[in-house]
Amino acid sequence: MRRHHGFSLLELIIVLVIGAVALGMVMSFSGKGASAADLKASARALASGLRAAQSTAMATRRDAVMTLDVDAREFTFTGDARGHKLPEGIDMKLFTAASEVESQRKGSIRFYADGSSTGGRVTVSAGERQFLVDVDWLTGRVKIGE
């Protein structure tokens, strides 16, 4: 009696089809939203902009402002007129002093010459993941939390 070792062509094709379907599903799930690295980089970019605005206020002895457009996912700050845009798939929320709210989609965090600020929080999120960029009103200290 003779035994055959190996796989038939039909068995190999079935395995390849199953692998292709699984790969397609993995690629479609990972393609939606922003990556964890993009989210963390966005939080760091916001914190960096806030710190730059604070430094500008202290160096020039004049108020400096970071303005955020929540819908456009964009921010600008005194000392750097170009807009900084967050990647697609990242949402932004702003909590700030009432005096700094321009509209439902736009607001600011203001820094004073002594380093203090109006305070506030910017939340960047992608799905369930989020980072909180907090600005202490008394010291102007910028901190990133999860």
Per-residue pLDDT at 41? 94
pTM to 2 decimals? 0.76
What digits encode the pLDDT tens for the residues 30-62? 555 578 889 999 999 999 999 999 999 999 999
What digits encode the pLDDT tens for the residues 116-129? 999 999 999 998 89
Per-residue pLDDT at 19? 84
The pair of structure tokens assigned to 135 is 């600005």
Q: How many CB atoms lie within 10 A of CB 1?
A: 2
User: What CATH number labels 36-145?
Assistant: 3.55.40.10
Per-residue pLDDT at 55? 94
In 3D space, the residue among 129, 67, 72, 78 whose CA is nearest the CA of residue 100 turns out to be: 67
In 3D space, the residue among 97, 100, 105, 107 whose CA is nearest the CA of residue 137 turns out to be: 97
Per-residue pLDDT at 33? 58
Residues 6 or more apart whose CB falls under 8 angstroms from that of 135 comprise 50, 109, 117, 119, 120, 121, 141, 142
Per-residue pLDDT at 146? 87
User: For residue 74, with 0-12 CB atoms within 10 Å meaning exposed, 13-18 middle and 19 or more buried, which class applies?
Assistant: middle
Per-residue pLDDT at 131? 96
